[in-house]
Amino acid sequence: MKSPLDTRRAGVLLHITSLPGGGGDFGQQAYNFVDYLHDSGVTVWQTLPLGMPHGDGSPYQCLSAHAGNPAFINIKWLVDQGWLHIVEQHEPHDALSKHRLLGQSFADFQSLASQQDQQLFTRFCEDKAGWLNDFALFLALRQELKHSCWNQWPDSLKNKEPAAINKALLRLNSEVEQIKYQQFVFFRQWMALKAYAKERNVLLFGDIPIFVSYDSADVWSNRAVFKLDKSGEMSVVAGVPPDYFSATGQRWGNPHYDWEYLEKTGFQWWLDRIKTQDELFDIVRIDHFRGLESAWEIPASEETAINGQWVPAPGKELLQAIANECRSIALVAEDLGIITAEVDALRNNFNLPGMKILHFAFDGNGGNAYLPHNHIQNSVVYTGTHDNDTTLGWFNTLNDHEKHRVYEYLGFSQTAMPFTLVGVALASVANLAIIPMQDILELGSDDRMNVPGTSEGNWAWSFEWDQLTQEQVGRFTQLIRLFGR
């Protein structure tokens, strides 16, 4: 089977929360965006992870490795299905209103939905039971216990003692069923959007964080998968040492995997996780791919990521298991940061494309792997990612000497930033070129998505259609055609 990554393509990076209209969901604006991509000649839409985040909004720290974010559910769709009767004239965008209407929708669904739709819900719950049952109870308990982390719950619930779990299932039955219904609706809406995108020749490109949040259904219900002590606490946490983004490194605080246990169980937990992403997306990026070769372990007592050590991981065995079990999946390796020959060998062994970031290219070293003349076909080139500044913002922070170096390499192009760099990305030999929507809109630093190492003010950026000019549309479309994407 030919991989979608073997064809020369252009893509756009935009998370669901960044869609126009406030809030961001799977409603009409998502379909409008697919239409915009199709009309521009773009065949890939890359998003960030679609999971349910914690209070900081980071899609890289979610409550489940499988469950989708109910905030992405479109209310009008429920009304159109006949699963919700409302009198409001406008769709709600605040979380409380949406939560209330989702609760009302479940009640309406139970009394008004067709027998066929109710059977589809039952079948969904059966098909997803491997993760859905634990997630639904976890979330219901978390809500009941004032959103405290599971390690602060009463011991009987923390340790999943059968008697306590059975009582909780009886006590919270309606909440548990409501949570399952939300996941049913999430998957129905996303798969409908995916089918529409396929009709418009647009592939969906997802992102799987290598680590999961400690405060998640996955860790609560699968403690043996992770490096935890007998009481469920972490002695080591994940992160990365000092790098381009941070002088003290990044202390993510995620639990590390007990790879010995995972190998004994045939990596089943990981395989189940990959299968969910394979259902949702056409292409999946493994975030922090180098952690599959070795990962940075930081003592939990350390406040920064400086004092850690690299600990090997059985990446070859895991990727082989994925290749055997999920033959159709198209994976991309996020190979940024401190990359060794061993990490490159692991990626190459499975023919996975790596990433080329143009913002990192112009350090004056002609051998820099991110410079376009060093690119290879089996790679994905970006101007920048969600973790970088926008291209205009990045360029404006350079001094005059650095700006001259960039334009010297580019042959003193008469095109202004950011479209100069957009053109360079699209001209690259890399099979896939991804452009953040901010660069198409020619936006500056105020419109970046995330600043790594910070926990406030991120993940909130969105655009409006009136920001997109006909000149920008025409220029981007012309470049895609010019460079055969």
In a domain, 61, yes or no: no
In tens, the pLDDT along 321-339 reads 999 999 889 999 999 988 9
The predicted pLDDT at position 344 comes to 97
**Mapping DSSP to helix (H, G, I), strand (E, B) and coil, where does residue 414 land?**
coil
Asked if 348 and 361 sit in the same domain, the reply is no
In a domain, 62, yes or no: no
Asked if 94 and 196 sit in the same domain, the reply is yes
Asked if 169 and 78 sit in the same domain, the reply is yes
Name the domain boundary from 311, 331, 352. 352
The predicted pLDDT at position 24 comes to 92
Q: Tell me which residues are annotated as active site.
A: 287, 334, 387
Quick count: other Cβ atoms within 10 Å of Cβ 328? 8
Nearest to 281 by CA among 375, 372, 204: 204
pLDDT at 404 over 60: yes
d(CA 229, CA 429): 48
Which tokens sit at 392? 């205009």
In a domain, 109, yes or no: yes
Asked if 364 and 332 sit in the same domain, the reply is no
In a domain, 391, yes or no: yes
Asked if 367 and 346 sit in the same domain, the reply is no
The predicted pLDDT at position 86 comes to 77
Asked if residues 479 and 422 have their Cβ atoms less than 8 Å apart, the reply is: yes
Q: One-letter amino acid identity for 409? A: Y
d(CA 200, CA 212): 33
Banded model confidence at residue 88, pLDDT cuts 50, 70, 90: low
Peptide bond connecting 452 to the previous residue in cis, omega within 30 degrees of 0: no
Residue 79: half-sphere exposure toward Cβ, Cα within 13 Å:
14
Asked if 348 and 444 sit in the same domain, the reply is no
Asked if 300 and 377 sit in the same domain, the reply is no
What lies within 8 Å, CB to CB, of 192 at 6+ separation is 26
Angle (nearest 5°) at CA 209 between 203 and 210 = 125
Asked if 337 and 384 sit in the same domain, the reply is no
Nearest to 155 by CA among 85, 261, 99, 231: 231
In a domain, 200, yes or no: yes
Q: What is the DSSP string of 170-234?
A: HHTHHHHHHHHHHHHHHHHHHHHHHHHHHHTT-EEEEEEESS--SSSHHHHH-GGGB-B-TTS-B
Which phi and psi (to 5°) does residue 110 adopt? -65, -35
Which tokens sit at 440? 């198409």
pLDDT at 455 over 90: no
The predicted pLDDT at position 19 comes to 97
Banded model confidence at residue 242, pLDDT cuts 50, 70, 90: confident
The predicted pLDDT at position 23 comes to 72
pLDDT at 63 over 60: yes
Name the domain boundary from 352, 379, 414. 352
In a domain, 56, yes or no: no
Asked if 285 and 246 sit in the same domain, the reply is yes
In a domain, 54, yes or no: no
pLDDT at 89 over 60: no
Residue span of the structural domain in which 4 resides: 1-46+355-485
The predicted pLDDT at position 133 comes to 98
In a domain, 64, yes or no: no
Q: What is the mean pLDDT of residues 151-173?
A: 98
| Segments of 33-86 assigned E as strands | 44-46
Asked if 122 and 201 sit in the same domain, the reply is yes
Residue given tokens 């949406």 in the structure block: 98
Q: One-letter amino acid identity for 60? A: Y
**Mapping DSSP to helix (H, G, I), strand (E, B) and coil, where does residue 236 land?**
strand
Asked if 359 and 347 sit in the same domain, the reply is no
* Weakest mean pLDDT among 15-19, 22-26, 224-228, 299-303: 22-26
Nearest to 246 by CA among 309, 306, 287: 306
Answer left, alpha or beta for residue 463, where phi above 0 means left and psi between -120 and 50 means alpha: beta
Asked if 370 and 341 sit in the same domain, the reply is no
d(CA 63, CA 218): 8
Nearest to 350 by CA among 373, 375, 368, 327: 327
Banded model confidence at residue 158, pLDDT cuts 50, 70, 90: very high
What lies within 8 Å, CB to CB, of 440 at 6+ separation is 12, 422, 468, 472, 476
In tens, the pLDDT along 246-284 reads 889 989 999 999 999 999 999 999 999 999 999 999 999
pLDDT at 453 over 90: no
Name the domain boundary from 153, 177, 205. 205
Number of compact structural domains in the chain: 3
Q: Mean of the per-residue pLDDT values for the chain?
A: 95
pLDDT at 94 over 80: no
3-state per-residue secondary structure call for 249-310: CEEEEEECECHHHHHHCCCHHHHHHHHHHHHHCCEEEEECHHHHCEEEEEECCCCCCCCCEE
Question: What share of the chain has pLDDT > 70, as a percent?
Answer: 98
